[in-house]
Amino acid sequence: MEGPSFGTRETVDFVVVGAGAAGGVVARELAIAGFRVIVLEQGPYLKAADFRHDELAVSRLGALTNDFTAQPTTFRENENQVAVPAQVLQYGRLVGGGSVHFTANYWRFREVDFHEASLKGGVAGADLVDWPISYAELEPYYTKVDWEIGVSGQAGADPHEPPRSRPYPMPPLPIKSTGVLAERAARKLGWTAFPAPTAIASIPFRGRGACVQCGFCEGFGCEVNAKSSTLAGMIPEAQATGRCEIRPNSYVRKIEVDARGRVNGVKYFDAKRHEVFQRARAVVLCANGAETPRLLLMSRSNRFPQGLANASGLVGRNLMFNGSAFAGGVFEHEVNGYKGNVVSRVIQDFYELDPALGIAGGGGADFRSGFAPISYAMGGLGDSSPAWGPELKQRLREYTRTCYVLAHSTSLPVPTNSISLDPTAVDAWGLPAIRMTFMNHPNDGRLSRYLLDHCMSLLDAAGAVRRWAFRAGASPFPQVHLLGTCRMGDDPARSVVDRYHRAHDVPNLFIVDGSSLVTSGRGQPTMTIQALAFRAAEHMGRMARAGGRW
């Protein structure tokens, strides 16, 4: 499983920044294609044996995610405010990135997500534009995600399913009581609850064992490697080629350019905080929708005074998260959502809405109870619950009979919603902190409230004896879907990367992660990020082989 170790004086073909959902795919594809690759990851290289059922360490104290103390972030609602410290975003900070602790919901985007502007019309106050690519163009790569990353599901079960060239490689994970309640509710409302496409192995897959239904998916690393993280699949496969080095505990601070304006390597701090320069013929940024724009902005130089690859001024702009709506209900009998994989059925009949509603976008919903005990006590009871006393104790007793409906939805791109460098706050390495500027587009709040009504109707239809809504409209911090901040497009004045993920301004710099997305989809963006990564790696290889063009 250990890969090669390149010297820092050696010039490798590609340095990939970030070993997450995208970086793991890019590294594996480039290494298989014959290139020498170094992946720099700011976090540690943990293995399945390091993960435990320890909610205090993992969920509440952030063992697998960015460390707010060492890496502060700041927040403001608009550009006229001074940002204040706030824990506004969370990402996986280890080899495998967020794919280690995610819930593994793998929804494909649909054609409407790629061409919403031309199909449905623009929205005032949003820079809603079409992608330069279509669903049909990405479909083969979604299928690669299914078959090479490992997705369980049932083709044809979703009546609105976009065309697919192959069935899923694995059957759906078992249905749970949450899923049965979803089916019951959907039937009553004339909708369809179908088996959730999930990046967890339901049967042995590519040398990994099947899920044992321990239930500790959301927020936790999988202890049996059944979750299809890049840590479990792509990264060991990349190392097995003998051409890919994973270099953990490496915190990149700047991408360097030569006199011709070509990238020639990256500077990073190693585990001892010594600065290292790693030479490379090309660089691929897969650092996520917040750290990627931050790194580009930190890489400003005389030649690129606005930051690298930022002639358009769009680096960091059009930040999107996916909206959400959330409701909980108590049932007569045991639901036991904590046992087994988090989501077993999803409903997407409101992926596109009746134009008469006047609401742009749409969403999808699932029934779940992904709360481990501490999270349930601290966040699962809703605002109407007393914070202490006998009534709190009574509510706590309802844990096994509680089920939630979670809807994810469109977040519109607004240019003033952004990631930028805080002018004063710095991290433990002395680098500028991430500053988030964000205010929901009014449409997104309306959409969340609309979907919240659906969540409540679904709980009623499922037979909840009591139900409650969590506040709609504003998504709670920290945000985890970090999208749109280096958008893809054909026009260099209106996008950061081209349709092949090459930076418009720098021919040997590529960017592929959540930042590439032009629209947010309806939720669950990881599958699309990985499909883009498979496709991007293919084009990077093609361009590198063309030779000398960098």
Partner 1 sequence: MTFSPLERRQFIALLAGGVGAVWLGAAPRDLSAAAAKAAAARDDDPWRVLSATEAQVLEAIAEQIIPSDDTPGAREARVVRFMDNALATFAAAELPAWRTGFGEVQAIVQHRRPGLASFAQMEKTEQADLLRALEHARSGFFQLVIIATLQGMFSNPEYGGNHDKIGWQLLGFQDRFVWSAPFGDYDRE
Residues that bind partner 1 (CB under 8 A): 53-57, 60-63, 67-70, 75, 77, 85-88, 174-178, 180-181, 184, 212-215, 223, 331, 333-340, 373-374, 376-379, 383, 387-390, 392-393, 396-397, 399-400, 438-440, 442, 445, 471, 473-478
In the complex with partner 1, which residue's Cβ is closer, 362 or 380?
380
> Which phi and psi angles does 330 have, rounded to 5°?
-105, 135
- How far is Cα 465 from Cα 254, in angstroms, rounded to an integer? 56
Question: In this structure, are residues 126 and 514 in contact, taking their beta carbons and an 8 Å threshold?
Answer: no
- CB of 109 or CB of 331, closer to partner 1: 331
CA-closest candidate to residue 94, choices 34, 145, 51, 156 = 51
Q: Closest separation between CB of residue 279 and partner 1, Å? A: 32
As a whole number of angstroms, the distance between CA 175 and CA 433 comes to 43
Shortest reach from residue 343's CB to partner 1, in Å = 13
Closer to partner 1 by CB, 239 or 475: give it.
475
> Which residue blocks in 202-275 are alpha helix, DSSP H?
234-240
By the 10 Å C-beta count (0-12 exposed, 13-18 middle, 19+ buried), 336 is classed as middle
Residue with smaller CB distance to partner 1, 99 or 324: 324
Residue type, 405: V
User: In the complex, what is the shortest distance from the CB of residue 353 to partner 1, in angstroms, rounded to a whole number?
Assistant: 19
Quote the CA–CA distance of 485 and 319 in Å, as a whole number: 5
Instruction: Output the smallest distance, CB 278 to partner 1, in A.
Output: 26
Q: How far is the CB of 62 from partner 1 (least distance, A)?
A: 6
Complex with partner 1: residue 78 or 118, whichever CB lies closer: 78
For 366, the token pair is: 């699932």
Q: How far is the CB of 22 from partner 1 (least distance, A)?
A: 25
Question: Can you name the residues that pair with 65 across neighbouring β-strands?
Answer: 92
Residue with the two structure tokens 């702009």: 317
The phi, psi pair for 529, rounded to 5°, reads: -60, -40
Between 397 and 549, CB nearer to partner 1 = 397
Q: How far is the CB of 452 from partner 1 (least distance, A)?
A: 13
Q: Strand pairing of 432-437 and 73-76?
A: parallel
The CA-CA-CA angle for residues 354, 355, 358, to 5°, reads 110
101's enclosing H/E stretch is helix 98-101
Q: Give 251 or 338: the residue with its C-beta nearer to partner 1.
A: 338
CB of 311 to partner 1, least distance (A): 30
**Beta carbon nearer to partner 1, 55 or 256:** 55
Burial of 24-34, coded b for 16+ CB within 10 Å and e otherwise, reads bbbbbbbbbbe
For residue 537, which of 28, 10, 19 has the smallest C-alpha distance?
28
The two tokens of residue 161 are 């399913």
Return d(Cα 184, Cα 308) in angstroms, integer.
Answer: 52
Residue 542 CB contacts under 8 Å (≥ 6 apart), including other chains? none
**CB of 383: closest distance to partner 1 in angstroms?**
6
Burial environment of residue 365 by CB neighbours within 10 A (0 to 12, 13 to 18, 19 or more): buried
Tell the smallest beta-carbon distance from residue 344 to partner 1 (Å). Answer: 9
Smaller CB separation from partner 1, 56 or 203: 56
> Tell me, what DSSP letter sits at residue 174?
P
Q: Which is nearer to partner 1, 86 or 133 (CB)?
A: 86
